[in-house]
Amino acid sequence: MLRSKSWVSLGGCAWVALTAALPLSAQAQADPSQLGIPEETTFAIITRMSDTVAARISASSCEDTRDLLKEMRKNKGKSSNKLSLEGQLLASAQTQPKLKQVVANRVGTALALKLMDCNMLNPNTLGTLFDKQ
């Protein structure tokens, strides 16, 4: 059970990092300079957080990855009026292109590789995207 609890929190973290559907109140709080955090520090924290999420995704089993994706779908669109400091920093990645690029490069690559390893992202799946008009 400990494993699934860690994935639930990882799912929440990854959801914030990977989706663009943050509540407006979260986006309004998403400026780290308002928290008194220097830009270099924010960049370093986002990089470290992204590396941690990427490492957990890479080390996960295919079953855990499927569970993570289900959790992300389940939580999509849920608003949270109160974000933790980490949540606010991750939310800032939604509005700041440099931070968004860090998250996308680190977490996106790890997730894409895991999806391919688990045969969840294969030529047939990708082919359906090309068939749509």
Q: What gap in Å lies between CA 78 and CA 73, rounded to an integer?
A: 10
pLDDT in tens, 47-103: 999 999 999 999 999 999 999 889 888 877 665 567 777 777 778 888 889 899 999
Place of tokens 């989706």: 19
Number of domains in the chain: 1
**Domain carrying residue 14:** 2-131
Number of H-type helices and E-type strands within the chain: 8, 0
Residues 76 and 15 sit within 8 Å (Cβ to Cβ)? yes
Q: Express each pLDDT in 44-58 by its tens digit.
A: 999 999 999 999 999
